[in-house]
C-alpha cells in the first residue's frame, strides 16, 4: 500500500472515530439527562460548529504538516477516548458541572476533528489533482461515517457500552498516528518523540479498556447508593437493578422504575380498577411492562385466556423471565402458558396487527423524550381504539397529577380527542408520590363493587377516593399531544425540571 492509499484509508478511520465521539456524547447526555432529541440536537450542533472552527484554524498550520497531523490524532485519541469515562465519573460524583464539561469536551474534540481532514488534504495535494483529491477524501470520509452510524447502535453499545466504545475509537486514532509515524519516518525529524507519545497513549487507552468494567461499576456505585446486582446496556437503554436489604429497584437510563417495597400499589392501581369491572374479559394486551409486574396482576384472574405482552427491549423480558429474584417478584409470570411475549415497537405492532382485546394495559415510561412521547399521542390512541372490543377498557400510566399536573391532564385531553371516554384517577406510591392513571373506553366507567382477586392495597371502600382530585391536582387546560407538536414532552420536561430544582 503506497502512502496516498494509506492516508485515504486513514480518512475512513478518523471519520469513523469523529462521528463515534459525537454519538457517544449524545447518547451519554440522553442516558443521564433525558430528552434524547434535545441532547443529540445540541451536541451535534456544538460539534459541527467546533469542527468548523478547527477547519478554519488549520490554515495557520504551515509547516511540518505530517507531524502536526500525528499530534492531532494523538490528542483526539486521548481526549475522545477518555471522554465517556471521564464524563460518567463526573456525573456520578457531582452532577452539577456535567453539562459544562460535556460541551467543553464536545467543542474541544470537534475542533481537533475539524483539523484532521484539511491537514490530510494538504498532505495529499502534492500527488493528486484537486478534483481527485476532494472526491476521494470525501468518499472515504462519508463511508467511515456510514460504517460507525450502523455499528454504533447494533454492535458497539450493546456489546461494549459507551465507555469501552470511546476507548476503542481512541485507540484507533492512536493507531493512525503510529501508522503515520511509520509511513513518513524518513521525513520526520521528531519521529522518535512522536512514536513514544503514541505508545504511551496506546498503553493508557488499552489499560483503561481492560479495566472498563471495573471503572463502570465504580462510577455506578457512586451513582446508585444501593448495591448493583445487574447492569447492562442495550440498543434501547441502560438497565440497572439495585438491592438494599430486601428492596430491589429497577433503573432505566438512571430513572427509577419501581421499588419492590411498594410497586404492588402502582401495579394494583394500574390493573384492577379496570379489569375488575370486565367479568367477560378473556383477551388482554400489555404494552410496555417488560418487568412482568402488571402481567402478574392480570394473571390473578383465572378467566383470562391469553395475554400478549409487547415490549421493545428483549433484554428486559429476558432478564425478568430468568433472574431468580426478579422471577419471584413477578410471580414467574413469563412462564405462564397464557402469555405471549413480543419484542417490538408498540406503535408498529398495533399498525401491523388486527387483533382485538377486552382489556389493554399501557405501561410505558414517562414521556421524557419524543421517542416515547409518540406513544402518548392522539395518533397512538386512535390506533389503540381500533384494537378495543365493544365494552373493552384501556388503562394508561400517565405520570404524576401532582408534580406534572399539566402533563397528566394533557394525556386526558389527548384520549378524549379521539372520541374515547377518559376516566382519570390517582394513587399514592411512596417511591414516587401521587401517581396518575387514565381509563379509556367507549362507555362510562363505574368503579368495581368488589375485587374478585387478592389485593394488598386496593379495597372496594377506598377505590372511589382514587377518582377524586383535590384542588392542587384538579384539571387544568392542556393541549392535545399530536405527533407534529409533541406538546406533552415539553410539558413534562418543564414540570419535572421545577420539581428537581
What is the C-alpha separation between 93 and 287, in angstroms, rounded?
Answer: 36
| Whether 400 contacts 469, CB under 8 Å | no
List the beta strands (DSSP E) in 61-204: none
- Paired with 308 in beta bridges are 285, 340
Q: How many CB atoms lie within 10 A of CB 5?
A: 10
Q: Which residues pair with 258 in a beta bridge?
A: 250
Beta bridge partners of 439: 395, 423
Measured CA to CA, the distance from residue 170 to residue 475 in angstroms comes to 52
**CB of 40 closer than 8 Å to CB of 25:** no
CA separation for the pair 45, 64 (Å, rounded)? 31
Catalytic positions: 363
134 phi and psi angles, rounded to 5 deg: -65, -45
Work out whether strand 306-310 and strand 339-342 pair parallel, antiparallel, or are unpaired.
parallel
CB of 30 closer than 8 Å to CB of 36:
yes
Computed over its alpha carbons, how large is the radius of gyration of the chain?
Answer: 27
Which residue's C-alpha cell is 404524576? 400
The Cα–Cα gap between 174 and 170 comes to 6
Q: For the residues of 461-473, what is the DSSP string, one character each? A: TTHHHHT---GGG
For residues 250 and 261, give the distance between their C-alpha atoms in angstroms, rounded to a whole number: 12
Nearest to 406 by CA among 306, 323, 344, 490: 490
Q: Quick check: helix, strand or coil at residue 233?
A: strand
Q: What is the DSSP letter of 484?
A: T
Q: What are phi and psi of 41, to 5 degrees?
A: -65, -45
Amino acid at each position: 500500500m503506497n502512502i496516498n492509499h494509506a492516508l485515504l484509508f486513514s480518512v475512513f478511520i478518523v471519520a469513523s472515530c469523529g462521528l463515534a465521539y459525537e454519538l457517544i456524547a449524545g447518547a451519554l447526555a440522553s442516558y443521564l439527562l433525558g430528552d434524547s432529541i434535545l441532547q443529540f440536537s445540541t451536541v451535534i450542533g456544538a460539534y459541527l460548529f467546533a469542527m468548523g472552527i478547527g477547519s478554519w484554524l488549520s490554515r495557520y498550520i504551515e509547516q511540518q504538516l505530517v507531524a502536526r497531523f500525528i499530534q492531532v490524532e494523538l490528542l483526539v485519541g486521548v481526549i475522545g477516548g477518555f471522554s465517556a469515562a471521564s464524563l460518567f465519573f463526573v456525573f456520578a460524583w457531582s452532577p452539577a458541572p456535567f453539562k459544562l464539561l460535556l460541551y467543553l469536551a464536545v467543542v474541544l474534540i470537534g475542533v481537533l476533528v475539524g483539523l484532521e481532514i484539511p491537514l490530510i488534504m494538504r498532505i495529499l495535494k502534492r500527488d493528486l489533482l484537486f478534483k481527485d483529491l476532494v472526491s476521494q477524501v470525501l468518499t472515504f470520509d462519508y463511508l467511515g461515517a456510514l460504517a460507525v452510524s450502523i455499528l454504533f447502535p447494533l454492535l458497539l453499545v450493546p456489546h461494549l457500552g459507551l465507555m469501552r466504545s470511546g476507548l476503542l475509537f481512541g485507540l484507533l486514532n492512536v493507531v493512525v498516528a503510529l501508522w503515520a509515524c511509520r509511513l513518513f519516518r524518513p521525513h520526520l525529524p521528531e519521529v522518535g518523540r512522536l512514536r513514544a507519545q503514541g505508545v504511551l497513549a496506546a498503553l493508557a487507552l488499552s489499560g483503561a479498556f481492560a479495566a472498563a468494567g471495573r471503572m463502570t461499576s465504580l462510577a455506578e456505585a457512586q451513582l446508585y447508593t444501593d448495591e448493583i446486582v445487574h447492569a447492562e446496556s442495550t440498543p434501547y437503554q441502560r438497565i440497572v437493578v439495585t438491592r438494599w436489604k430486601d428492596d430491589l429497584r429497577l433503573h432505566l437510563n438512571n430513572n427509577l422504575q419501581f421499588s419492590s417495597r411498594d410497586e404492588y400499589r402502582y401495579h394494583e392501581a394500574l390493573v384492577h380498577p379496570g379489569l375488575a369491572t370486565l367479568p367477560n374479559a378473556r383477551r388482554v394486551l400489555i404494552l410496555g411492562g417488560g418487568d412482568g409486574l402488571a402481567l402478574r396482576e392480570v394473571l390473578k384472574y383465572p378467566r383470562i385466556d391469553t395475554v400478549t405482552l409487547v415490549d421493545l427491549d428483549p433484554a428486559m423480558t429476558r432478564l425478568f423471565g430468568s433472574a431468580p429474584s426478579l422471577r419471584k417478584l413477578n410471580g414467574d409470570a413469563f412462564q405462564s402458558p397464557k402469555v405471549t411475549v413480543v419484542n417490538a415497537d408498540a406503535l408498529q405492532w398495533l399498525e401491523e396487527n388486527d387483533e382485538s382485546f377486552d382489556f389493554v394495559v399501557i405501561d410505558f415510561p414517562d414521556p421524557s423524550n419524543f421517542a416515547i412521547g409518540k406513544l402518548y399521542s392522539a395518533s397512538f390512541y386512535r390506533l389503540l381504539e381500533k384494537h378495543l372490543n365493544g365494552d373493552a377498557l384501556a388503562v394508561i400510566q400517565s405520570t404524576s397529577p401532582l408534580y406534572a399536573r399539566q402533563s397528566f391532564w394533557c394525556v386526558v385531553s389527548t384520549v378524549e380527542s379521539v372520541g374515547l371516554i377518559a376516566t382519570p384517577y390517582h394513587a399514592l406510591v411512596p417511591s414516587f408520590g401521587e401517581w396518575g392513571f387514565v381509563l379509556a373506553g367507549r362507555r362510562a366507567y363505574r368503579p368495581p363493587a368488589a375485587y374478585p382477586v387478592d389485593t394488598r392495597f386496593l379495597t372496594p371502600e377506598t377505590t372511589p377516593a382514587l377518582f377524586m382530585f383535590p384542588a392542587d391536582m384538579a384539571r387544568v387546560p392542556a393541549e392535545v399531544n399530536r405527533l407534529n407538536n409533541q406538546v406533552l414532552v415539553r410539558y413534562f420536561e418543564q414540570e419535572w425540571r421545577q420539581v428537581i430544582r
